[in-house]
Structure 1
């Protein structure tokens, strides 16, 4: 029986501290607003001095980047787990409802991931790659249902973003625009079906060549 691998306890502790800083950053942003993140207040929240944060993150923008990556990973994990029936209307309603609910459930996360409200912030290639994965999963959904034009997905995400923005801005914590998801999908599908021959869409949905 081989020896157990040697643990790098220092690296593990560093990663735990980074996670603690990111969690505290989310809390501060939800309390003070995304642009109101103060490194001094953040450091105090995790029991260290502000200069010590730079031992874990190069800048405030690097903290935002870690938050962005975490939010994108949350979205990706949830999208991957969404059940698929292969039925166009059912699956698109489930997908769009999930997107709107994901955005509306955390307006700070929504701002960071989808609105780019932080001056000078651009996600790193590594973080943005996670966002691209989430979009690719949605694209696969659309392709499986017979809608393989990239513009179809663009239109669907635009509809979802609009509903989410309205929900967050005008009825936070409510469901006024969430209740419109099914109607929005029915209008969207009616439009997409006019563009896509029925026989092609049906064949693709069934997995036929």
Structure 2
């Protein structure tokens, strides 16, 4: 296991899984990645990818901070579409969309499993502009063999699918007003791991 995050299921159908998390949600991350977040040093993230390639890392207990996140994913897709919300006055506002390229969802007893393939697409909240993110890290994990040629081909196809979905205003981009006004219910506690909580 490379990482683990506690999420709240918003919708789960044959066609789409929608989950969310909020500040305070429990997580487990590789210790180099956790250190990279703390010190803001990109080279530490490189260490994390090298540990992944070697198959040797330790997990550190973590807590999701700052943003509320909602994730949308069809079961066979090689990507998920994420909406990030940031504090704004007494509530939150949609800051941006974030497309994460990853393995299709695999169901497990305790949740679901996927695998992050490093490259991402960041889209403005109003869909007016986009930028590719972490292309250098994606090239690095390709060189390390973490992402195979077959996975690379799947990512290239997924990129085309996402851009077409964005242009056609399909999927979650068809209901951006609804997503922009969605809010985490104040009565919902931060998600926790059911089997191994970080604190009693």
TM-score by length of 1: 0.26
Greater C-alpha radius of gyration: 1
Higher fraction of strand: 2
